[in-house]
């Protein structure tokens, strides 16, 4: 989707993060337009997860500022009120490598739970929305199963439905297919592609270069906590300028 001229949905400026002595993020800037999809790639340990976690304040940055949907949600030196953090997490859904479903609840109950807790929806309201979303991710026949009865790909699709149930404006994905058998990945990628086509604003950390090429408007390459390259897939993946990007793309492609 061409996002030129669309409003800026998320703006991160100079995001820094240090763990102990180690500077993990060295000042990352990113502006994401409404309806844009950004793939984040880079070597293991380069700070991709830390960066994406900073965007919904699962990690508190040590420097920089963050605006989401026109609201400042973080500015270094100022504590973000808990209420603003809760608001932010409703607007920004997140899907992790591990699915983190409640083992003792069915798929349907897992998707209901967040809606009941965070949005205060009634059981009836939540159930209607959960049915809709579980159908959308292709799990209409598995709603009453527990996580252990589902494949990794199915569990991840429940996790995606659960995140979507809060009606987020932005979705963050951190290597959503890494813990899934290769043949089950396709169905998760299919759901993500669908979501992208529906115009959801998405940031996705991924190892799936081919998927990034097809589904992302822009690809961002991070190494050692810095953005070395960002641009359309045809540029960053097919004609990378930076030698580090060239080596990375060659190795994984
Ligand atoms: P990536 O997702 O690109 O593989 P991460 O953001 O997970 O990279 O990690 C970047 C670096 O930060 C790694 O060296 C990792 O060990 C370190 N790190 C991540 N989280 C923490 C933490 N909570 N405490 C200490 N070090 C961390
Ligand atoms: Mg990671």
Per residue in 143-191, pLDDT (tens digit) is 999 999 999 999 999 999 999 999 999 999 999 999 999 889 999 999 9
Residue indicated by tokens 């990034």: 212
Nearest-CA residue for atom 1 of ligand 1 = 45
Facing residues of 19 across strands? Answer: 22
Strand partners, 23: 18
Cα–Cα nearest to 43, from 230, 187, 205: 205
- Contact (CB, 8 A) for 221 and 245: yes
* Predicted TM-score of the model (pTM): 0.96
Q: Best mutation site among 50, 53, 59, 61 for ligand 1, i.e. most ligand atoms within 8 A of its Cβ?
A: 50
pLDDT at 110 > cutoff 50: yes
For the cut 90, the answer to whether the pLDDT of residue 2 exceeds it is: no
Question: Nearest ligand, CA of residue 175?
Answer: 2
Q: Given a cut of 70, is residue 1 above it in pLDDT? A: no
Pocket of ligand 1 (CB under 6 A): 19, 24, 42, 44-50
């Amino acid at each position: 989707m061409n996002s030129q001229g669309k409003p800026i949905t998320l703006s991160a400026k100079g995001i820094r993060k240090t763990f102990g002595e180690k500077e993990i993020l060295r000042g990352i800037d990113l502006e994401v337009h409404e309806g844009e999809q950004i793939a984040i790639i880079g070597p293991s340990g380069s700070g991709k997860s830390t960066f994406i976690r900073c965007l919904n304040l699962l990690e508190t940055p040590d420097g920089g500022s963050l605006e989401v949907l026109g609201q400042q949600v973080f500015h270094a030196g100022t504590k973000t009120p808990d209420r603003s953090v809760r608001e932010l997490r409703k607007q920004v859904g997140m899907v992790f490598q591990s699915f983190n479903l409640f083992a003792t609840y069915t798929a349907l109950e897992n998707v209901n739970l967040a809606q009941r807790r965070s949005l205060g929806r009634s059981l009836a309201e939540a159930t209607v929305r959960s049915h809709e979303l579980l159908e959308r991710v292709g799990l209409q026949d598995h709603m009453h199963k527990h996580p252990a009865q589902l494949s990794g790909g199915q569990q991840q699709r429940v996790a995606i439905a659960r995140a979507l149930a809060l009606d987020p404006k932005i979705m963050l994905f951190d290597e959503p297919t890494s813990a899934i058998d290769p043949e089950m990945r396709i169905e998760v990628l299919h759901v993500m592609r669908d979501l992208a086509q529906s115009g959801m604003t998405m940031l996705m950390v991924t190892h799936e270069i081919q998927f990034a090429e097809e589904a992302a408007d822009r690809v961002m390459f991070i190494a050692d906590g810095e953005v070395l390259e960002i641009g359309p897939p045809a540029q960053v993946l097919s004609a990378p300028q930076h030698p580090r990007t060239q080596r990375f793309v060659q190795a994984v492609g």
